[in-house]
Amino acid sequence: MNNVRIGMIGYKFMGKAHSNAYRATPMFFPDAWKPEMKVICGRDAALLEQARAQFGWEEAVTDWRELVQRDDVDLIDINAPSNVHKAIAIAAAEAGKHVFCEKPLALTLADAKEMLTAAEQAGVKHMIGFNYRFAPAVQLARKLIQQGRLGRIHHFRAVFLQDWIMDPSFPLVWRLDKEVAGSGSHGDLGAHLIDMARYLVGEFREVVGMSETFVKQRPAAAAMTGLSAKGDVASELGEVTVDDATLFMARFACGALGSFEATRFAGGHRCTNAFEVNGSKGSIKFDFERMNELQVFFTDDAEDVQGFRRVLATDPAHAYMDAWWPPGHTIGYEHTFTHEVLELMKALEENRQPSPSFADGVKCQEVLEAVERSVSERRWVALQELQDGN
Amino acid sequence: MNNVRIGMIGYKFMGKAHSNAYRATPMFFPDAWKPEMKVICGRDAALLEQARAQFGWEEAVTDWRELVQRDDVDLIDINAPSNVHKAIAIAAAEAGKHVFCEKPLALTLADAKEMLTAAEQAGVKHMIGFNYRFAPAVQLARKLIQQGRLGRIHHFRAVFLQDWIMDPSFPLVWRLDKEVAGSGSHGDLGAHLIDMARYLVGEFREVVGMSETFVKQRPAAAAMTGLSAKGDVASELGEVTVDDATLFMARFACGALGSFEATRFAGGHRCTNAFEVNGSKGSIKFDFERMNELQVFFTDDAEDVQGFRRVLATDPAHAYMDAWWPPGHTIGYEHTFTHEVLELMKALEENRQPSPSFADGVKCQEVLEAVERSVSERRWVALQELQDGN
Amino acid sequence: MNNVRIGMIGYKFMGKAHSNAYRATPMFFPDAWKPEMKVICGRDAALLEQARAQFGWEEAVTDWRELVQRDDVDLIDINAPSNVHKAIAIAAAEAGKHVFCEKPLALTLADAKEMLTAAEQAGVKHMIGFNYRFAPAVQLARKLIQQGRLGRIHHFRAVFLQDWIMDPSFPLVWRLDKEVAGSGSHGDLGAHLIDMARYLVGEFREVVGMSETFVKQRPAAAAMTGLSAKGDVASELGEVTVDDATLFMARFACGALGSFEATRFAGGHRCTNAFEVNGSKGSIKFDFERMNELQVFFTDDAEDVQGFRRVLATDPAHAYMDAWWPPGHTIGYEHTFTHEVLELMKALEENRQPSPSFADGVKCQEVLEAVERSVSERRWVALQELQDGN
Amino acid sequence: MNNVRIGMIGYKFMGKAHSNAYRATPMFFPDAWKPEMKVICGRDAALLEQARAQFGWEEAVTDWRELVQRDDVDLIDINAPSNVHKAIAIAAAEAGKHVFCEKPLALTLADAKEMLTAAEQAGVKHMIGFNYRFAPAVQLARKLIQQGRLGRIHHFRAVFLQDWIMDPSFPLVWRLDKEVAGSGSHGDLGAHLIDMARYLVGEFREVVGMSETFVKQRPAAAAMTGLSAKGDVASELGEVTVDDATLFMARFACGALGSFEATRFAGGHRCTNAFEVNGSKGSIKFDFERMNELQVFFTDDAEDVQGFRRVLATDPAHAYMDAWWPPGHTIGYEHTFTHEVLELMKALEENRQPSPSFADGVKCQEVLEAVERSVSERRWVALQELQDGN
């Protein structure tokens, strides 16, 4: 048994989610390798120390460049804002550290590819944080498709609907700033949909998209954090430089048709990350707001009792669930991270690449950028274009 | 092919529902015997004529005693208030007419038995209007149980929740008057639950109940109809003489346990007539507000995809549905009456008792009265007591 | 009070639905003008006579050209296959008859425009059968939007999912033949979505679409009817010439974004005609499989009790419902046609155009064709292009 | 800020749930007093050490009598089987330790009262583990009722449905042994319903119940744990001495009517702990399988948009939720324990009794025993009887 010594950069929403996962893994999956919460890193020393104490890290440091060089750290966890992912990931890889990076991998496809190359050349393990894969209901979805129980896939349709910025007086937080966030709903929410589609249905062939920013100016925030703004909100307005909503359609390599929508303007939807897959032998539906459930339909059920089954994915037959509570006792959002960390630990133990890796991050970025190009040029864009470096 | 000439007594809510069924049967089930809308009967000549014209009856008469003697009528349909069921049914039977009577059959068990005896002695066909049996989803429920697909039945639990009289200023309509209605939620709503339980699970062995009238006085209504009051509402208050809610528990002859609740004080429930059955091999759930659906669970489904299936009972595999619209095109409340009339016509054609018959009305009345006795004497009451005539 | 004498051409699925509506209207809406079921028309005399007797028409004729000239007919109802709509509608209009035509209005936009022009020049009333508008829950949706209770509309997303031709051995019925049907899922299902979008959100500005035929060859059917094939299915395969699925995205004139998907390959979906609208002040959701319900969300509900409300649109406060049954007693698919016929009768009585009219049919056809052009040319297509006649 | 040093007795299902809560509290509620995981106690030294290491306790001991005397422990957490609660709780209280005991408090009302008396006489704090109170959706339910937003309460109906012992070959685990468990579904599941009813609606006045054991003999288990059996299952059968299902009806002091059902034979229900409350101004519904949601109905919503609202209780407006994740990011079963421990810590910090206390355990036991007496004597039993010591 081995401990994996973690150095984590970032201590806000994702830093908290990751910390919780590092705390939970040893208790619920005691046979796996164990993450050791060694160093937490951030820029604001006071807030950082507070996070360190609260989350349970041994040490806090403010310079990530020093951190990635330390001998007593095995893995760098990057959950700082998206615009610093690249520099840290490359430095960490070059320093021989494994890297676990939040999504989106980078602000551009070119950057993402550089990160993947750096990690591969350094021979380190790399993982990207598409945590929704690790909901047991999603694992069941994947299993049903992989085992052919849904037959040939015809349709994938997915939405990620939120409503947290509908109020025009909501301030300009960093997630609304293209310089820092790269994009808006597209990179933040759409990225999850794209990864889910790839995980379930396979690679994209071509896409066509559209985007909109409904509220084009917002009050500037004095101090911006991820999802909210602290302190006084300035009276002056600033430009929103990212999309409020992005939709696109896709054709998959396997021939399936895809429909995607990410928006932060869907009133009543706090976090509707939902998809449906239709195959020749069955269908599945998932909605993250009811993340313990998968709706499953089989065309070969007896004719008089065909219907979508509400499967509560909390039985021992479902991934990860024998580690938690008895059937019917649900888990929540944070557990997707615990399972993600478990998979990371397992991959390190077995000396293989974790999944999803930076390669998946690159593939996701390809689709994100293909959609952006499609939006900008108002045409279908084949993924091949981006793969060819055009 | 034969026409059945109908004489119908009553022209309000149920009269309208029955009339619609008589109109629809020939169109959707053209191979069945055909109800002929001969005579409609009621006390108020003006309102009656309006109903006659609107519903499409050939003739209107105000004296039911004359009606039941007419040679050009084959069947008497009784949907007048409950307190006149008995006299009409017996007179009709003695005049050699088949009788189709709305539920509850009578105000008392003794009356109900007299009606059954009269019909049997006259050798006429008799049917009682437990229309909910004839929802396709309920037919599916029945089939699954009869075919043993749910195994041995352990539990039946049912509620009939409404909220139409919650407002204390709602007036004293006839359904709130014990003299006319017999009882309140118990006889009106509970009777449907009891019949459904008998239809699905079998006979009752013993019951224990409780009752309450939450609003004990209400404004008297100038002219009372079934579900509402027309004209000016009097300022004086009158006593509510029926129950607003009645609950009871039961043991069935087969060993299953039953739970029943009927109330008119469940805010947000317009017409939640719902039941669940749990057997050793599966479970089913039904809610009339989504009457086209039956939730079905089988314990022998594969472990990873067990779950209640939402079966939309609109396929050709479901009772009556090939007569209507393509799969997925739902039907509504009124269709239960159309199917009921179809079953009546079929029974007449095949010269056999329709089901449910007056015998079912008597059985239902036994349970209603056993519950009332239990409420009044605060003890368990065995059905045997009432069957012994105690 | 006046009778409107109907001559109806077509006697299959839609002929049955319309006939039922003509029968129901006088009973449930006795104050409205009354449709008189005068003449039914079709090509196969034997089947036609059977339909006449079953549906309750006075007379049956096999030549629609004669029918449209008759003096004892006021209105021609066209529900024959789509490829004959145009000739009949124009002849009927020229003969001075009002025209009620099933959707899609015609196989091409040019044809649809000709029909509209003919009707306008003849000065007759014209209506198109977008029946889903007339579900009370949809009426409520419309009212909420019209009254501004949802604020400015940001999103409209809709799907029409069916699964009736997923089996590759399902035969080549006329709905799979481009010559007769015009298109597949797009014209059959997508047309309903487009009309619903226009009804709720307004006009389209531009679209981009994609299409697929998953099963490209099917057994030829000896005798094809609308939704099934009678008699022996031929062993030889024929080409499927219509789309199995068509998706498109849209931008509305009001600035809202739209997402549309119509498919006959969504297993488990018998008739999921569903939409969601997100506005700045609220959202609504509808699914035809639960057609009595509208989900409604308001952003200004108290913070601790915000959530989608499941409104059962069966109260007197909901359109048409005081004519039917008490609250909570649901209606079904066929009632949308009854309400549609009621609206037609009202418009005739008030001597004004019914809504939706042929103009709505033309607008729908514009969008259908814009999408087809987009699919074929793989680009965004502005509605203006088609309006300009390009 | 203070640490509360915990000595915990029991290390199975509940021991794991409590341990997780002790670990989570400091991270998510850093401002509260902090539980210190000092000593874990159990009989099997090897298994205990495994649990100690896995759960993160400092020390493991096998003799609870020594543990309760230790000076370095402030609070004793009892989650061993129900038959040892009493001895431990009294010894702990007498040793001056605060006591946190799992439900049911004891096997009999007399024992429960002794425990309460001992704790009161010792002047220690005492809490009982009715964890379901601490789901945010339940907290919202309580708030709505307390604030009068549901008006006068008319109905409370609750079920706790499970299906884990439906298979007759499932072995005789301790929860099926009356000597150890006290009762079956009644004490295990019904106890939670009773506490919930008291929490929301208030005290019980009288009850009438019924019970059944469907499978009366089961294979003996070699080594029995709470929910499953390890090792070989013996071929010989043993008697099941507890109830598989218990139902009862109740009248509350406030006049409301109650309906209760606990069963382990409801196929398809892994953990349906569900209730509904109907008041004069509104209704609420809860189902633990969707524990983040509360369905809320208000009678004074506008007539056309009345309906149950699906409130996702994950907003900052909902209890505890600002400590976790952004709105829409759900929590699970284990979080109810974390909130429970938080409330315990807060009460200790504020030097007041936690709620629910042993007094609530006694009240729950009164109802449990009143129901048992009712089942045995087949009559209504007033709570007053048990309070009078009859």
Q: Do D154 and B265 touch (CB under 8 A)?
A: yes
Q: How many CA atoms lie within 13 A of C306 on its CB side?
A: 23
Task: Write down the pLDDT at residue A61.
Answer: 98
> Which residues touch C80 (CB under 8 Å, ≥6 apart)?
C9, C10, C42, C64, C88
Tell me whether residues B311 and A312 touch, CB distance under 8 A: no
Q: Which residue of C has its CA nearest to A266?
A: C278
| D333 shares contact with chain A (CB less than 8 Å) | yes
Q: How far apart are CA C175 and CA C181, in angstroms?
A: 5
> What residues of chain B score a pLDDT lower than 70?
1, 222-234, 390
Q: Do A380 and C378 touch (CB under 8 A)?
A: yes
Give C100→chain B minimum CA distance, Å.
Answer: 21
Chain A residues whose beta carbon lies within 8 Å of the beta carbon of residue D54: 26-27, 30
Q: C303, D310: Cβ pair inside 8 Å?
A: no
β-strand pairing of D381-382 with B293-298:
unpaired
pLDDT value, residue B47 = 97
Got the DSSP string for C224-261? E-SSSEEEEEEEEEEE--S-SEEEEEEEETTS-EEEEE
Chains adjacent to C (≥3 CB pairs closer than 8 angstroms): A, B, D
Contact B144, B296 (CB under 8 A): yes
Domain with CATH 3.40.50.720 in chain B: 3-132
Residues forming CATH 3.40.50.720 domain(s) in chain D? 3-131
Residues in D touching C307 (Cβ below 8 Å): 296, 309-312
For domain B3-132, the CATH superfamily is NAD(P)-binding Rossmann-like Domain (3.40.50.720)
Rg from Cα positions in chain C: 21
Residue C159: its chain B contacts at CB < 8 A? none
Please give the angle made by the CA atoms of C1, C5 and C6, to the nearest 5 degrees: 135
Interface test with B, best of A309, A310, A320, A322 (most B CBs within 10 A): A309
Mutation target among C283, C290, C309 for the D interface, most CBs of D within 10 A: C309
Q: Which of C160, C166, C381 to mutate to test the interface with A (most CBs of A within 10 A)?
A: C166
Report how many Cβ contacts below 8 Å link chain C to chain D: 54
What is the percent of chain C where pLDDT is above 70? 96
| Closest listed residue to residue C37, CA positions, set C50, C19, C15 | C19
| The two structure tokens encoding residue D20 | 């997780």
Inform me whether the C-beta atom of residue C329 falls under 8 Å from chain B C-beta atoms: yes
Radius of gyration of chain B (CA): 21
| Closest-CA residue to C142 (of C127, C125, C130, C160) | C130
Chain B residue numbers with beta carbons less than 8 Å from the beta carbon of D247 are 249, 257, 259
Instruction: Count the helix, strand and coil residues of chain A and give each as a percent rounded to the nearest 5.
Output: 40, 30, 35
Dihedral pair phi/psi, residue D263, rounded to 5° = -150, 150
CA dihedral (A179, A184, A188, A190) in degrees, to 10, reads -130
How does pLDDT run across C190-228, given as a tens digit for each residue? 999 999 999 999 999 999 999 999 999 999 875 555 555
Contacts of B144 in chain A (CB under 8 A): 305
Looking at per-residue pLDDT, the higher value among A220 and D276 belongs to D276
CB contact under 8 A, C155 and A268: no
Integer Cα distance of A301 and C78 in angstroms: 39
Please tell me which of the candidates C143, C303, C308 has its beta carbon nearest to residue D309. Answer: C308
Given B296, B303, B318, which is nearest A317 (Cβ)?
A: B303
| DSSP β-ladder status, B126-128 and B98-101 | parallel
Q: Which of B388, B256, B312 is nearest to B135 (CA)?
A: B312
What residues of A are in contact with residue C257 (Cβ under 8 Å)? Answer: 210, 212, 245, 247
Give the per-residue pLDDT at B345.
Answer: 98
> Are C305 and D296 within 8 A, CB to CB?
yes
Q: Which residues contact B390 (CB under 8 A, 6 or more apart)?
A: none
Is residue C140 within 8 angstroms of chain D, CB to CB? yes
Structure confidence by residue, pLDDT tens digits, C282-296: 999 999 999 999 999
Instruction: List Cα–Cα distances, D195 to A329, B261, C380, D162, D199, in angstroms.
Output: 19, 21, 61, 18, 6
CB C134 within 8 A of CB C25: no
Asked if pLDDT for residue C233 goes beyond 70, the answer is: no
Q: State the Cα–Cα distance between residues D285 and D295, nearest whole angstrom.
A: 5
Distance between CA A3 and CA B264 in Å, rounded?
Answer: 63
CB D167, CB C328: distance < 8 Å = no
Count of C-beta atoms within a 10 Å radius of residue B31? 11
Helices marked H in C311-357 — which ranges? 333-349
pLDDT, mean of residues D236-256: 96
> Strand B34-41 relative to strand B3-9: parallel, antiparallel, unpaired?
parallel
Contacts of C40 in chain B (CB under 8 A): none
Q: What is the CA radius of gyration of chain A?
A: 21
Which two tokens mark D369?
């025993």
Give the number of other Cβ atoms within 10 Å of residue C355's Cβ: 15
The two three-digit tokens of residue C260, written as one number? 């549309």
pLDDT given for residue A222 in this prediction = 59
Contact between D271 and A326 (Cβ < 8 Å): yes
Q: Hey, how many other C-beta atoms are within 10 angstroms of the C-beta on D123?
A: 8
C-alpha A86 chain-centroid distance:
16
β partners of residue D13? none
Report the candidate in C214, C231, C125 with the shortest Cα–Cα distance to residue C176: C214
pLDDT, one tens digit per residue, over D124-165 is 999 999 999 999 999 999 999 999 999 999 999 999 999 999
**Closest CB from C144, C306, C311 relative to D306:** C311
Q: D-chain residues within 8 Å CB-CB of B212? A: 154, 255, 257
Handedness of CA D85, D86, D88, D93 (dihedral sign): positive
A282 to chain C: closest CA residue:
C267
CA–CA dist A263, A242 (Å, integer): 12
Beta strands in chain D (DSSP E): 3-9, 34-41, 59-61, 75-78, 98-101, 126-128, 153-161, 204-212, 217-224, 229-239, 245-252, 257-263, 272-279, 282-287, 293-298, 308-312, 381-382
Residue C50 CB contacts under 8 Å (≥ 6 apart), including other chains: none
Please give the residue of chain A at the shortest CA–CA distance from C303.
A268
CA pseudo-torsion sign B214, B220, B226, B232: negative
Average pLDDT for residues D280-297, to the nearest whole number? 98
Q: What is the CATH number of domain A136-290+292-331+366-374?
A: 3.30.360.10
Q: Are D249 and B248 inside 8 Å of each other by CB?
A: yes
How much is the mean pLDDT over chain D?
95
Name every chain C residue with its beta carbon within 8 A of the beta carbon of D315.
303-304, 306
Angle at D364 between CA D362 and CA D369, to 5 degrees: 90
> Given an 8 Å threshold on Cβ–Cβ distance, is B266 in contact with D283?
yes
Record: contact B301-A318, CB cut-off 8 A = no
Looking at residue C232, its pLDDT comes to 55
**With an 8 Å Cβ cutoff, are B299 and D212 in contact?**
no
> Rounded to whole angstroms, how far apart are CA atoms B77 and B70?
14
Query: Which candidate from B27, B56, B324 shows the least CB-CB separation from C54?
Result: B27
- Start-end of CATH 3.30.360.10 domains in chain D: 136-290+292-331+366-373
Which value, to the nearest 10 degrees, does the dihedral of the CA atoms of residues B145, B151, B152, B153 take? -50
Mean pLDDT rounded to a whole number for chain C: 95
Q: Is A107 on the interface with B (CB under 8 A)?
A: no
What is d(CA B280, CA B323) in angstroms, rounded to the nearest whole number? 34
Query: Into which CATH architecture does domain D136-290+292-331+366-373 fall?
Result: 2-Layer Sandwich (3.30)
Query: Given B214, B268, B378, which is nearest D283 (Cβ)?
Result: B268
Q: Give residue D180's pLDDT.
A: 85
- In single-letter form, the type of residue at position D82 comes to S
Candidate from C54, C291, C327 with C-beta closest to B271 = C327
The C-alpha angle A151, A152, A157, rounded to 5 degrees, equals 105
Q: What residues form DSSP beta bridges with C230?
A: C223
- On whether the CB atoms of residues B269 and B161 are closer than 8 A, the answer is yes
Closest CB from A289, A290, A325 relative to D334: A325
Please state the pTM of the whole predicted model: 0.96
Residue C162 three-state SS: coil
Cα Dmax for chain B: 66
H helices of B190-234, in order, are 191-201
Residue B342 exposed, middle or buried by CB count within 10 Å (0-12, 13-18, 19+): buried
What confidence category does residue C373 fall into, taking pLDDT thresholds of 50, 70 and 90?
very high
CA distance D211 to D215: 13
Is residue A215 less than 8 Å (CB to CB) from chain C?
Answer: no
Find tokens 């009543």 and name the residue.
A268
Name residues of chain A where pLDDT drops below 50.
none
| Helical ranges in B56-94 per DSSP H | 64-67, 85-94
C155 contacts chain A (CB < 8 A):
yes
Domain D3-131 is of which CATH architecture? 3-Layer(aba) Sandwich (3.40)
Distance CA A8, CA C126 (A): 69
CB contact under 8 A, A210 and C210: no
pLDDT of residue B174: 84
Q: Rounded distance, CA C359 to CA B375, Å?
A: 65
Contact at CB, C330 and B291, closer than 8 angstroms: yes
Cβ of B270 and C30 within 8 Å?
no
- How close is the nearest chain A Cα to the Cα of B305, in Å? 6
Q: How far apart are CA A104 and CA B343, in angstroms?
A: 63
Most A-contacting residue of D47, D264, D334, D336 (CB-CB within 10 A), to test interface: D334
Task: List CB contacts (< 8 A) between B317 and chain A.
Answer: 303-304
Residue with tokens 């595999």: B317
For residues C354-359, average pLDDT: 98
Give the number of other CB atoms < 10 A from CB of residue A162.
Answer: 23
Tell me: the pLDDT tens digits for D330-365?
999 999 999 999 999 999 999 999 999 999 999 999
CB–CB of C263 and A214 under 8 A?
A: no
Cβ separation D317–C304 shorter than 8 A: yes
Please say if the pLDDT value at position D233 is more than 70.
no
Across the interface, whether the CB atoms of B335 and C335 are under 8 A apart is answered no
Tell me which residues of chain B, numbers 287 to 306, contact chain C at a CB-CB cutoff of 8 Å.
Answer: 288-292
Spatial distance between the Cα atoms of B101 and B362, rounded to a whole number of angstroms: 12
